[in-house]
Amino acid sequence: MIKVGVVGATGYAGSDLMRMLVKHPEVDIKYVTANSYVGKKYAEVYPNFGKHIPLLCSPADLEKVAKECDVLFTALPGGMTAGLLTESILDNTRVIDFGAAYRLKDVKVYEQWYDEHKSPQFIEEAVYGLCEFNRDKIKDARLIANPGCHTTCGILGTAPLLKADLIDRKSIIIDSKTGVSGAGRGLNRDMLFCEANENTKAYKVAGHRHTPEIEEQLTYVAGEDIIISFTPVLVPMNRGILATIYANLKDGVTEADIAAAYEDMYGDEYFIRLSEPGTLPESKWVKGSNFVDIGFKVDSRTNRVIAVSSLDNLVKGAAGQALQNMNIMFGLDEKTGLDQVTPFPV
Amino acid sequence: MIKVGVVGATGYAGSDLMRMLVKHPEVDIKYVTANSYVGKKYAEVYPNFGKHIPLLCSPADLEKVAKECDVLFTALPGGMTAGLLTESILDNTRVIDFGAAYRLKDVKVYEQWYDEHKSPQFIEEAVYGLCEFNRDKIKDARLIANPGCHTTCGILGTAPLLKADLIDRKSIIIDSKTGVSGAGRGLNRDMLFCEANENTKAYKVAGHRHTPEIEEQLTYVAGEDIIISFTPVLVPMNRGILATIYANLKDGVTEADIAAAYEDMYGDEYFIRLSEPGTLPESKWVKGSNFVDIGFKVDSRTNRVIAVSSLDNLVKGAAGQALQNMNIMFGLDEKTGLDQVTPFPV
Amino acid sequence: MIKVGVVGATGYAGSDLMRMLVKHPEVDIKYVTANSYVGKKYAEVYPNFGKHIPLLCSPADLEKVAKECDVLFTALPGGMTAGLLTESILDNTRVIDFGAAYRLKDVKVYEQWYDEHKSPQFIEEAVYGLCEFNRDKIKDARLIANPGCHTTCGILGTAPLLKADLIDRKSIIIDSKTGVSGAGRGLNRDMLFCEANENTKAYKVAGHRHTPEIEEQLTYVAGEDIIISFTPVLVPMNRGILATIYANLKDGVTEADIAAAYEDMYGDEYFIRLSEPGTLPESKWVKGSNFVDIGFKVDSRTNRVIAVSSLDNLVKGAAGQALQNMNIMFGLDEKTGLDQVTPFPV
Amino acid sequence: MIKVGVVGATGYAGSDLMRMLVKHPEVDIKYVTANSYVGKKYAEVYPNFGKHIPLLCSPADLEKVAKECDVLFTALPGGMTAGLLTESILDNTRVIDFGAAYRLKDVKVYEQWYDEHKSPQFIEEAVYGLCEFNRDKIKDARLIANPGCHTTCGILGTAPLLKADLIDRKSIIIDSKTGVSGAGRGLNRDMLFCEANENTKAYKVAGHRHTPEIEEQLTYVAGEDIIISFTPVLVPMNRGILATIYANLKDGVTEADIAAAYEDMYGDEYFIRLSEPGTLPESKWVKGSNFVDIGFKVDSRTNRVIAVSSLDNLVKGAAGQALQNMNIMFGLDEKTGLDQVTPFPV
């Protein structure tokens, strides 16, 4: 059994991880930490866990927890993990971090989009945990930078077009619709029911922090610098991301070429489902699951491809991918504990 | 492995059953029937099943399916099963019926609230599949009448108060709030998004068909005739029922008496979670699960108890309870395939 | 023109009042106060007011504002107005208070359900601003206690049954479903989109502060002490209250008697619409308007009446009724500025 | 008083028009036609009209209605008006058509995207009723082709960029998020609450009929052929459209140039509100109103402009613009009957 600690277990991503860990056949949950709820039963904070887990919340003492766990999931508010991580923690355990601190390889880019980096010394060894891309490195990693939600959706939807050299690399636009849970459980007036319900808005236009993360990964795929336009849009639903991705096709590229590019890259990937021709993803079909659904249409009038990529921001966009990383790190079948059918309607 | 046929697999309840059957370790799904989708892949009708099940929809030929299955789940539109069921079907297989035809023991009461009964000869042997009440009979039954959603919620919330003789049996009022999926997937203007969203309404007031079903079961519990007021209320959410149940307390009844009544009746029931004193159920904590959450408050000013009972109308209110019945019928642990943690928020 | 000050204009109720005041033909808005937004354009806080109003938010200095206005609407957080109100303010202006401080005539009852009362000296002269009941007193009042939202809905739905002596006065139960805006715009985790969406819950069961307010008014109507059970239930929509009201009928009371009771009391009331026989209110038909829709069914099996009453919690349940009070106080047609058609769907 | 007939008054757009007509000071509603509800009170079909209008629904006999009305609004299902319109109708009255039949000047383009045209003889004289563009022609028109919802939003958001020659005319992409009411009130499984709620999907990608309408109008503005990519996206809310519009900036174009382009074109337009620098529209601020809110950001990294345009699909996207057209046609102030403040939250 893998001894697991969940640091920051009472946020939405932490809680969704807990949901899957509780039923994971190879996992023994040793610690759930939540500084705001120390001493309280986890199942009192989240009554959906009633009869499932008797654990109490403990303080986020990483040094201590590291000594007793084989792996830590750190699902702390932005940047906090970077301030807590030490060499001795990584000597004692392996860490899968939900935050952004170790996702970008260039600390200058990080500090341009975020704040000062608290532990840049760990950036180099950190492995970007996009499972479908980096399996081999993930296996032996001590530190995983678990990808962001918009980023996983955008990268996976766009990469085959670049890898197969089908599009003008300067023409990529990602318009990414997201449910409200991506904003987390913190108090924020804009996320009150009456403010977010019955509303759609674009936010952080031309400035969202997921932009450089998408660009870096797409640059690796393309083998040349990629710069994109990325627009997140908030829509009134609990979960789910659906991105519409636009790119200009190179001359002579056909629908069959595009289909082949997706098939070549993802044909063997369990958690990626390619839409049947004529159909496109809808966010409801991935809600609650670790799947990414991807489809596309060619707009022959403008010679563009419009790809549609959809995932659950809390699962493949956070907790599910983190667990998929753990499965890879510990030599398990990637699907272990992750292969439920999404309920519908839900 | 239990050979299973799902008749009417493309309604919401049928689909939610499929979600659980697909991952049930002791089940082999032989048939999914759906007259509207014959020959179509089930996973095309419900893309959330992509990569989970390769089966095609077949016609609802019960006689044929019965010969090849150990158990049939019939999730057909109102009353339809009663017109199709025959002695030879029941010779060949066991049937768990989602409809109302065999829930009421008195055919006259049935015909007063519903239409003419098409196969009254099966009423007597049918077992009312409220698992927590009828386990022993369910074990050996050929025909299970799977309870309704409002009814399961109302009966379970009220029964201990009657069993322990704590309330005036004429004073029971059940005000039962339900999400929209209870109305099914049929075309109905009132269930269009723009009609049901941002709206609350009471419907079929003083005339809903779940009324006699609740009354019959509560009558068994009380040992004397029970007549109730039952009001269903439609609220804008996909899933979930939350009932507020009112009753006048008999003289001298204390909060402790009530707590003891619930504990006595449900203390050993896995799928019933009694709320901690001072807390009450919310429908979000049972969404997607087979749990029923029950709590109560005493209103000392009026000497009433207000019990609150909540479940997921498609799970414990339909497909989950059906599967729980199957587990009992085939000697499995009741929780098999049913014990997932509800995701939240979802 | 009536010179108006709105104190606490940036809460949901204050903002909905502003929406109506801005287009009111007899009103000149002199002040909008909002301590959190002093110096900011009101139309920046609420961009729906863009091009409609150029005013800046000013501090809630009641003494000053009172001198320059004919009437003040005070829409401040619970109890705050009571701490600010003075004799000199009431010498200079008239006050319509959205809070609870002056709604209950017995200060002991107030302090039992709320906190210590900061200005009990004004309770006696305050007029309870339920327009349909107290028009004559409202005309000349200096201080109006504008009724609560659940209370207006519950009182209006129940009163005719008591006035015509049709029901057992001890049997009244009000189960009142409300949208989320009733909780206001303050930061509250339970009101985050992901917490309130797709959820239904009863709250403050057997202890909600609107209980004594309903009881006091119904006591006046009945001419004898009324005690009720009142249960508020939160449902996932922005606006609207729909109450189901239960009461045991006295012997021999007929449906016609009940219809006559409602007609007698409300037949001439513009803002009360009695449902056609066979139909019942739905909250969507009153959303955004000052109407209260009321209907009923007789449950002959239990000899109960189930009345359904519905209003918009921010309009007839707060800002609309406040404006109706102002119209009465200043001798205007009650409908002035209040008579828009509700958009649907909205 | 203008004598008005509303043909097809019980769809969502027709009903929203009725809401505004009922309170319009210069309008006398002579006919509300609705073939499905002939003889029924309009206020029974839509109870929000209770106490507002006593009219009964009559059959859609255009020839008859035309003789008694100064203007007809035809809000019929797709293409139906084209089959009913005659010269004698236009001799007797003026027509504002909500459908698409007369929006495109080239009948071949129409028949390529829609079906066979039933009355192409009226195309030439029809005036495209985008009020801000065609006021002069609207004044004297007999036949107005009222614009589509996505189209009004996309055209108004994009036009200034083309008019001021700031963008690469081949680079325009419009990603247009819409609420569910745009699909109308007809029965459609995809629009059931449980199907549309908690879901986001792109639809008719690279093939939506609003595409050529946007292109034609933008071509007039640009003075050269414009071809765009247009993607409609369905999001779970009742009303509202929010479009994100992407275009590559020409060399040297600055943020100030763009701001000036919008200001030049819309500075005097009452119903267009330009966002303050640093802010962007949200659909909730236009819900229920005739305003179009427009803002933009420059993405200097990619040298693109991202404009955001938002309106209410039933108001400025349908009924409101139709009424604005009527006001222009009859020499009234454009704002008459249209200038309410949007309620919020709603």
Indicate the SS3 state at residue D280.
coil
**C258/C212 same-domain check:** yes
In a shared domain, residues C180 and C291: yes
D39 to chain B, minimum CA–CA distance in Å? 20
Asked, for residue B320, whether it belongs to a domain, the answer is: no
Q: Is residue B327 part of a domain?
A: no
The answer to whether residues A173 and A106 belong to one domain is: no
Residues of D in contact with B181 (CB under 8 A): 194
Q: Is residue D322 part of a domain?
A: no
Does some domain include residue D336?
no
Tokens coding B338: 């049913």
What pLDDT sits at residue D34? 96
Q: Give the tens place of pLDDT for each residue, A307-326.
A: 999 999 999 999 999 999 99
Q: Are C234 and C178 in contact (CB under 8 A)?
A: yes
User: Are C299 and B229 within 8 A, CB to CB?
Assistant: yes
Of B288, B242, B317, B258, the C-alpha closest to C202 is: B242
- Dist. CA A132–CA A138, nearest whole Å: 10
Please answer yes or no on whether B270 and A51 come within 8 Å at the CB atom: yes
Q: Do A280 and D200 touch (CB under 8 A)?
A: no
**Residues in C 254-283 with any Cβ partner in D closer than 8 A:** 270, 273, 276, 279, 282
B181, B191, B194 ranked by CB distance to D181: nearest: B194
Same domain? For C155 and C118 the reply is no
Q: For residue C24, what is the nearest residue in chain D, using CA coordinates? A: D340
Q: Which residue of C has its CA nearest to A345?
A: C198
Average pLDDT score, chain C:
97
Percent of chain A with pLDDT over 90: 98
pLDDT in tens, A177-231: 999 999 999 999 999 999 999 999 999 999 999 999 999 999 999 999 999 999 9
Q: Provide the pLDDT confidence category of residue A275 given band limits of 50, 70 and 90.
A: very high
The answer on B178 and B55 residing in a single domain is: no
Compute the distance between CA of residue C23 and CA of residue D341 in angstroms, rounded to an integer: 8
Residues C254 and C239: their CA atoms lie apart, in Å, by: 34
Task: State how far residue D181 is from chain B, nearest Cα, in angstroms.
Answer: 6
- The string of DSSP letters for B214-230 reads HHHHHHHHHTS----EE
* Alpha carbon C257 to its chain's center: 28
Contact D339 C289 (CB under 8 A): no
Round to whole Å and give the CA distance between C325 and C335.
10
CA of B331, closest CA in chain A: separation in Å? Answer: 22
Question: How, if at all, do strands B304-311 and B241-248 pair?
Answer: antiparallel
Question: Residues with Cβ < 8 Å from C270, sequence gap 6 or more?
Answer: C334, C335, D51
Q: Is B55 contained in some domain? A: yes
Closest D-chain CA to B182: D194
Q: Hey, of B109, B199, B311, which one would you mutate to test binding to chain C, going by the most C CBs within 10 A of its CB?
A: B199
Q: Which of D200, D280, D304, D309 to probe the A interface (max A CBs under 10 A)?
A: D200
Cβ of B194 within 8 Å of Cβ of D180? The answer is yes
Flag if B341 and A47 touch (Cβ within 8 Å): no
Taking a C-beta distance cutoff of 8 angstroms, is the pair C22, C50 a contact? Answer: no
* CB-based contacts of D328, cutoff 8 Å, min separation 6: D131, D135, D138, D139, D334
With bands split at pLDDT 50, 70 and 90, how would you rate the model's confidence at A159?
Answer: very high
Q: Give partners of C (≥3 CB pairs < 8 A).
A: A, B, D
Residues B270 and B160 in one domain: yes
Within this chain, do residues C172 and C303 fall inside the same structural domain, yes or no?
yes
Q: Shortest CB distance from B192 goes to which of D185, D236, D237?
A: D185
Window C:180-209, CB contacts with D under 8 Å? 181, 198
Contact B340 A345 (CB under 8 A): no
Residue C231 lies in a domain: yes
B contact chains, 3+ CB pairs < 8 A: A, C, D
pTM (predicted TM-score) = 0.98
Task: Read off the pLDDT of residues B190-209 as tens digits, 9 standing for 90 and up.
Answer: 999 999 999 999 999 999 99
Give me the sheet containing C201-202, strands edge to edge: C201-202, C229-234, C173-178, C241-248, C304-311, C292-299, C272-274
Note if the bond before C345 is cis, omega within 30 degrees: yes
Is a pLDDT exceeding 90 seen at residue A78? no
Tell me the backbone φ, ψ of residue B91, rounded to 5 degrees.
-70, -30
pLDDT, position A342: 86
Burial of B46 (0-12, 13-18, 19+ CB in 10 A): buried
Q: What is the pLDDT of residues A31-47, one digit of tens each?
A: 999 999 999 999 999 99
Concatenating the DSSP letter of every residue in A32-45 gives EE-GGGTTSBHHHH
> How far are the Cα atoms of A193, A287, B240 from residue A238, in angstroms, in the given order?
11, 9, 16
- Burial string for D162-198 (b: 16+ CB within 10 Å, else e) reads bbbebbebebbbbbbbbbbbbbbbeeeeebbbbbbbb
Angle made by CA atoms D340, D343, D345, in degrees to the nearest 5: 165
Average pLDDT over residues B69-86: 93
Task: Report yes or no on A320 lying in a domain.
Answer: no
Question: How close does chain D come to C94, measured CA to CA in Å?
Answer: 26
For residue D202, give the 3-state DSSP assignment. strand
Confidence band of C77 (pLDDT split at 50, 70, 90): confident
Do D211 and B215 meet the contact criterion of CB atoms below 8 Å apart? no
3-state helix, strand, coil in chain A (%, to 5): 35, 20, 40
Residue B326 belongs to a domain? no
Amino acid occupying residue A270 = Y
Q: Are residues A162 and A113 in the same domain?
A: no
Pairing state between β C241-248 and C304-311: antiparallel
Catalytic status, residue C149 = yes
Domain extent for B108: 2-125
Smallest Cβ–Cβ distance between C197 and the set A188, A189, A238 belongs to A238
Calpha distance D341→C22 (Å, rounded): 8
Q: How far is D177 from chain B (nearest CA, A)?
A: 16
pLDDT-derived band at B78, boundaries 50, 70, 90: confident
Q: Looking at the complex, does the CB of residue C227 fall below 8 Å from at least one CB of chain A? A: no
Q: Assign residue A276 a region: left if phi > 0, alpha if psi is -120 to 50, beta otherwise?
A: beta
Catalytic-labelled residue, pool C57, C69, C131, C149: C149
Nearest to D214 by CA among D181, D173, D272, D260: D173
Averaged confidence pLDDT in chain B: 97
**Cβ separation D189–B194 shorter than 8 A:** no
Give strand ranges (E) for B211-344.
Answer: 229-234, 241-248, 272-274, 292-299, 304-311
Domain co-membership, A28 together with A104: yes
Residue pLDDT, tens place only, B308-345:
999 999 999 999 999 999 999 999 999 999 998 989 99
Asked if this assembly's ipTM is beyond 0.90, the reply is: yes
Q: Hey, are the CB atoms on D239 and C345 less than 8 Å from each other? A: yes
CB contact under 8 A, A244 and D283: no
Instruction: Note whether D230 and D84 are same-domain residues.
Output: no
Angle at which helix A210-222 crosses helix A149-163, to 10 degrees, equals 20
Q: What is the pLDDT of residue D77?
A: 85
Q: Looking at chain B, which residue has its C-alpha nearest residue D192?
A: B192
Q: Pairing between strand A27-33 and D71-74?
A: unpaired
Q: What is the pLDDT of residue A29?
A: 98
Number of Cβ pairs closer than 8 Å across A and C? 58
First to last CA, chain A: 32
CB of A240 within 8 Å of a chain D CB? The answer is yes
Distance CA D102, CA A4 (A): 66
D147-203 pLDDT tens trace: 999 999 999 999 999 999 999 999 999 999 999 999 999 999 999 999 999 999 999
Rounded to whole angstroms, the Cα distance separating D230 from D251 reads 25
C127: pLDDT confidence band, cut at 50, 70 and 90? Answer: very high
CATH at residue B54? 3.40.50.720
- Between chains, do B341 and A288 touch, taking CB under 8 Å as contact? no
Taking contacts as CB-CB distances below 8 angstroms, the residues of chain D near B189 are 185, 187
Find the distance separating the first CA and the last CA of chain B, reported in whole Å: 32
Based on the domain organization, do A42 and A109 belong to the same domain?
Answer: yes
Task: Please tell me the distance in Å from B309's CA to the nearest CA on chain A.
Answer: 14
Token digits for C91?
């010498």
Residues of D in contact with C273 (CB under 8 A): 47, 50-51
In angstroms, the CA B26 to CA B3 distance is: 9
At C280 the pLDDT is 98
| Contacting residues of A for D179, CB less than 8 Å apart | 198, 200
Overall domain count for chain C: 2
CATH value at residue B219: 3.30.360.10
**For residue A27, what is the enclosing H or E element?**
strand A27-33
Positions of chain D with pLDDT lower than 70, given as ranges: none
Same domain assignment for residues D293 and D155: yes
As a whole number of Å, the CA-based R_g of chain C is 20
Contact between residue A243 and residue A150 where contact means Cβ atoms under 8 Å apart: yes
Cβ of residue A50 closer than 8 Å to a chain B Cβ: yes
The DSSP bridge pattern shows strands B201-202 and C272-274 to be unpaired
HEC-encoded secondary structure of D301-322 = CCCEEEEEEEECCCHHHHHHHH
